[in-house]
Amino acid sequence: MPDTKNTFNSIAKVYDRINNIISLGKHKKWKKDFVTKSNMNGKILDIATGTGDIIRLIKKKYPVSECYGLDPSQNMLKIAKEKSQNINFLKGYAENIPFENKMFDYVTISFGIRNTKSIEKSLKEIHRVLKDNKYLYIMEFSRNENPIMKLITNIYLFLFIPLVGLLFGKFKEYFYLSSSINKFYSPKEFNELLSKNNFKVLEIKSFNLGIVTIYTAAKI
């Protein structure tokens, strides 16, 4: 696996524009749906925050006391800080979260868990920083097991997305990101991984023909 920090540093300036193109503008609705999953309050940590869209939406919608955005990419964080002045953004990895035990009421991570160096280690760290019985929300692309949908998805992943990346001079980076989607778990497999790491999965919701899945889980 390449250093994802370098990948996201490289694409930071075009990241939001390419997201609009490759999701056909739907990523904004996905993020709004993700944020409205619960009446969030207290302390919130958004991991792999990128340019800060999710934590910014949370801050706008809910009366949170403290909110933090964590990301290993300095270039992504620079853009996030330019967009939002009242959110605590800091550099760091999901595998080594720089906070004390049982500090957060909610942890969110959207389209980022698959790009961590170790998904299991990241889940263990998330479990550590969450308060007892509090919530983890993950939105991620899913591997589709339906043969017809798998064919359609592969065309999207290995033709459309890299082509868009090529137009912006970022073919290598977006081919890697497409590959990471294709290698990620199916919803059933990821449900089992969450359970293995001491989370009780409360809801799994897939949409856009199963391409995107939202997982709601509680720390146990």
Residue in this structure with the two tokens 């919130």, named with its chain if needed = 44
Write out the H or E segment, with its range, that includes residue 8.
helix 4-11
Provide the pLDDT for residue 50: 96
pLDDT, position 210? 81
Going from the first residue of the chain to its last (220 residues), give the mean pLDDT of each consecutive group of 10, the final group possibly shorter: 80 95 90 86 96 94 92 96 92 97 97 95 98 97 84 91 96 94 92 97 88 94
DSSP string, 130-177: EEEEEEEEEEEE----SHHHHHHHHHIIIIIHHHHHHHTT-HHHHHHH
Residue 3 confidence (pLDDT): 65
pLDDT at 81: 95
The span from the CA of 64 to the CA of 35, in Å, is 13
Q: What class has domain 4-143+185-219?
A: alpha beta
Under 8 Å between Cβ of 180 and 114: yes
The residue ranges of every structural domain in the chain are 4-143+185-219
